[in-house]
């Protein structure tokens, strides 16, 4: 009776799949277990991880690239409120694997860095898949929720460090503007007596 009630597409996931043996990566892909990873942990934990888990295990830590190469489903998240909610920090961490202050040069085990395109995909499409919401969000397609952010600069063309401080111009939820930073700037300028077109 219990089997009849179960969903045929059960999307199990391992939360904080952050120190995983190489031989287990294909198992994630084969069983379609979602590796839920928080990139900001990588750039925070690198300060103490070598002392606590050792250098050999650090090579297996936060292995974003290896999960993708193995074909495993991956969902990125922030782990708020343990880590900051700001997704720019997670994008920066996945792309650089460097601390917010910069370094180590090239990143913490740089072979595990991923592209900005991959990082955005794992935060959006990957996370939507993990929560059975991939039919309504996670990609920009007709009929989807249209939850999106518009940055003041093209994150694909700025230096990776600039990802951290590139302002948000607008935020849409369900296709509706819920934040317009351009209006805030205009309000500030008008309050100071400036003419705003």
Q: Rounded to an integer, what distance in angstroms lies between the CA atom of residue 87 and that of residue 148?
A: 12
Span 108-133, pLDDT tens digits? 999 999 999 999 999 999 999 999 99
Alpha helices (H) along 34-180: 39-45, 49-58, 64-70, 87-96, 116-121, 127-130
The mean pLDDT value of the chain amounts to: 91
Mean pLDDT of the 73-77 span: 97
Write the pLDDT tens digit of every residue in 86-101.
Answer: 999 999 999 999 999 9
Mean pLDDT of the region 21-49: 96
User: Which has the minimum average pLDDT: 6-10, 27-31, 181-185?
Assistant: 181-185
Tens digits of residue pLDDT in 52-62: 999 999 999 99
- Spatial neighbors of 164 by CB under 8 A, at least 6 apart, are 88, 89, 92, 100
Predicted TM-score (pTM) of the model is: 0.88
* Confidence (pLDDT) at 185: 53
**Residue 176 three-state SS:** strand
Categorize the per-residue pLDDT at 181 as very low, low, confident or very high, splitting at 50, 70 and 90: confident
**Quick one: what percent of the chain has pLDDT higher than 70?**
89
Q: And the tokens for 162?
A: 């600039």
φ/ψ bin of 157: left (φ > 0), alpha (ψ from -120 to 50), beta (otherwise): alpha
Task: Give per-residue pLDDT as tens, 156-176.
Answer: 999 999 999 999 999 999 999
């Amino acid at each position: 009776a219990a089997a009849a009630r179960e969903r045929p597409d059960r999307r199990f996931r391992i939360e904080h799949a952050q120190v995983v043996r190489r031989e287990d990566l294909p198992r994630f892909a084969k069983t379609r277990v979602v590796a839920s990873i928080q990139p900001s942990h990588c750039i925070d934990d690198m300060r103490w991880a070598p002392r606590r888990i050792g250098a050999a295990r650090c090579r297996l830590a936060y292995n974003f690239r290896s999960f993708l190469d193995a074909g495993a489903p991956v969902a990125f998240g922030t782990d708020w409120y343990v880590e900051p909610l700001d997704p720019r920090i997670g994008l920066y961490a996945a792309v650089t694997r460097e601390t917010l202050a910069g370094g180590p040069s090239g990143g913490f085990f740089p072979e595990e860095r991923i592209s900005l395109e991959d990082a955005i995909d794992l935060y959006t499409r990957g996370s939507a898949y993990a929560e059975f919401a991939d039919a309504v969000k996670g990609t920009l397609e007709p009929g989807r929720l249209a939850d999106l952010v518009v940055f003041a600069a093209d994150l694909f063309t700025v230096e990776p460090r600039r990802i951290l401080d590139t302002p948000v111009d607008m935020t849409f939820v369900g296709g509706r503007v819920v934040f317009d930073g351009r209006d805030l700037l205009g309000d500030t300028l008008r309050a100071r007596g400036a003419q705003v077109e």
